[in-house]
Chain A
């Protein structure tokens, strides 16, 4: 027992720094994919035909590729094209692409679920496109967008463990490194699982709070 506690106490500083990296990667991926996904999702609904076709092609391609392949494709595929990314940014870029394709779909689903009359009523009082989205469409679409998106965020946190494959020292990689020194795998994997779980459980609790916050909107 004392040995177990010793192992955990020894590991904690390493795991905390790995956890920091996991959170950083997740945060960057979630923020970038949110912005890019909402913009492209709006383009997929309201854009001219050529743009819609292009976005559709992008999302379908990305969603058809396993994320692991995407990570290696970005890491090994971009340098020959003259773009040298560090393993950190290569991993972040690949995860962001993957997540963006999902956010585009959430956005499309949420926005197109709003009845057409809402856009027309917003037009008829003289709001311009951006105002119609901001004051009329988005506040209503948010309620439908949030549940799948928060699910996607927890996926992003879990999926960020894949960056360890490119040697980025995130929580997963930190665990492996400590195990490499101590040869005590079980307590460390358990500890890692608890940490991932704690993040994701807080996120899904937050999601329930947000859903209640938007529940007052009824058609």
Chain B
């Protein structure tokens, strides 16, 4: 792979007070790649993802998307980008949240249309067409006029995915998107993500679904205590189980589910 990575994360650090959550994280994601981050809770996975979207300001190191520093004009901790510039950068990265965060006063269709109309400046009709296209893609063509509270958790999360991908982002960030779902609703959401992966969508995924990570991603990153403890293609990572005790301990808790 000779192309410059779409997302370049280098020596990334982030602290909340005296608690250093990210300790020099390095990670590149190439266009079209699906990279999954796994690891125990509190290991910094979600914080890493939130830094890429600048929902959290990072303290040190660098995050570049298409060569442009995220959030800061030059370097971490320096001058932040202005509101308009920051918003334009965020529009390039789609984010899907653990708790869906749909706008409760808007229908499924309006949830998807808001960014298209106000950020992408699409006229109403075109925004509506794009929204309907994506709601159809996530299997919700019949729910375009529903308000979020009228939808199941799995349906809400699929609207959340449609809202993010409709903006045509360069990279999609998925933050434990099935963790808040009833077990029987997990697959309908993961199926949508698998379809997006097949279509070549670049994705950085934080998940506890180990089987999904193994099947759907090109590479897996194993994070503990704020740094990358192991990484590689799924089979490469599994081969490190013998030598990496923390990885072994972590995966052993899922062995019942994955066999």
Interface string of B73-104 (1 = CB under 8 A from A): 00000000001100110111111010101111
User: Across the interface, do B118 and A135 meet the contact criterion of CB distance under 8 Å?
Assistant: yes
User: Across the interface, do B88 and A120 meet the contact criterion of CB distance under 8 Å?
Assistant: no
Closest chain-B Cβ to A196's Cβ sits at a distance in Å of: 35
Q: Which of A126, A139, A140 contacts B167 (CB 8 A)?
A: A126
Contacts of B45 in A (CB 8 A): none
Contacts of A125 in B (CB 8 A): 90-91, 94, 114-115, 119, 163-164, 167
CA distance in complex: A188, B238 (Å): 90
User: Across the interface, do B90 and A218 meet the contact criterion of CB distance under 8 Å?
Assistant: no
Contacts of A112 in B (CB 8 A): none
Q: Place the interface of chain A in its size category.
A: 20 to 34
Chain B interfacial residues counted at CB < 8 A: 28
User: Across the interface, do B55 and A129 meet the contact criterion of CB distance under 8 Å?
Assistant: no
Interface string of B43-58 (1 = CB under 8 A from A): 0000000000101000
Q: Which of B84, B87, B104 contacts A140 (CB 8 A)?
A: B104
User: Across the interface, do B149 and A219 meet the contact criterion of CB distance under 8 Å?
Assistant: yes
Contacts of A136 in B (CB 8 A): 103, 114
B147 at the interface (CB under 8 A from A): yes
A121 at the interface (CB under 8 A from B): yes
Contacts known (A120-B97, A120-B101); A131 close to B149, Cβ less than 8 A: no
Q: Which of B53, B88, B95, B118 has the most CB of A within 10 A?
A: B118
User: Across the interface, do B104 and A120 meet the contact criterion of CB distance under 8 Å?
Assistant: no
Closest chain-B Cβ to A47's Cβ sits at a distance in Å of: 14
Q: Which of A120, A126, A217 has the most CB of B within 10 A?
A: A126
Contacts of B55 in A (CB 8 A): 120, 123-124
Contacts of A9 in B (CB 8 A): none
User: Across the interface, do A127 and B87 meet the contact criterion of CB distance under 8 Å?
Assistant: yes
Can you name the residue of chain B whose Cβ is closest to the Cβ of A120?
Answer: B55
Can you name the residue of chain B whose Cβ is closest to the Cβ of A126?
Answer: B91
B259 at the interface (CB under 8 A from A): no
Closest chain-A Cβ to B259's Cβ sits at a distance in Å of: 35
Q: Which of A123, A127, A218 contacts B104 (CB 8 A)?
A: A218
Closest chain-B Cβ to A48's Cβ sits at a distance in Å of: 13
B125 at the interface (CB under 8 A from A): no
Contacts of B163 in A (CB 8 A): 121, 125
Can you name the residue of chain A whose Cβ is closest to the Cβ of B53?
Answer: A124
Q: Which of A117, A124, A126, A217 has the most CB of B within 10 A?
A: A124
Contacts of A218 in B (CB 8 A): 104, 147, 149
Top-4 shortest CB links A-B = A126-B91, A125-B115, A121-B101, A124-B95
A123-B55, A126-B92 are known; give 6 further A-B pairs, CB within 8 A. A115-B101, A117-B99, A118-B103, A121-B102, A125-B115, A136-B103
Interfacial residues, chain B to chain A (CB-CB below 8 A): 53, 55, 83-84, 87-88, 90-95, 97, 99, 101-105, 114-115, 118-119, 147, 149, 163-164, 167
18 A-B pairs in the complex with CB atoms less than 8 angstroms apart? A117-B97, A118-B101, A120-B55, A121-B102, A123-B87, A124-B53, A124-B95, A124-B164, A127-B118, A131-B118, A136-B114, A140-B103, A216-B105, A216-B147, A217-B104, A217-B105, A218-B147, A219-B149
Interfacial residues, chain A to chain B (CB-CB below 8 A): 115, 117-118, 120-129, 131, 135-136, 139-140, 216-219
